[in-house]
Amino acid sequence: MQGDPRDVVARYWDGLWHRHDLGVVDELIAEPYVRHSSAGTRAVSRTEFKKELSGAWRLLHDATTTVDDQVADGDRVWTRATTQGINLDTGAMTVVTWLTVHRLEGGLITESWTASLPGVDWRR
């Protein structure tokens, strides 16, 4: 699967973080998928990634995610996105800003670097 890296990453954000469609993992994510975050660096299978996504989706009720800014250069796409939803533990409206760089190979997302900023809303 080949395509404009921005289109692939846009489908990632829409499918996973807007529509909560786990089928997008099989369509867009390489195996293994290397994830870099504040929790460390690890390679995960598609199955493991789907489990992590399902857990993340349960944290916020009625969550919506918007892509606020995006830049592509070669095989990398930088995205700033915002997720807003109700935290089921506290009942409070919660916002998280994401800064993510995705690297693609052969039209699949093979690696990402992500920083999440809970409580930060840069949309204003």
| Third-level CATH fold of 5-118 | Nuclear Transport Factor 2; Chain: A, (3.10.450)
Whether the predicted model's global pTM rises above the 0.85 cut: yes
DSSP per-residue string spanning 58-91: HHEEEEEEEEEEEEEETTEEEEEEEEEEEETTT-
Mean pLDDT of successive 10-residue stretches along the chain, which has 124 residues = 82 91 97 95 97 86 90 96 90 94 97 95 86
- The pLDDT score that the predictor gives to residue 2 is 59
Pairing label, strands 108-118, 29-37: parallel
Q: Where are the domains of the chain?
A: 5-118
- The pLDDT score that the predictor gives to residue 73 is 95
Cβ neighbours of 70 (radius 10 Å): 15
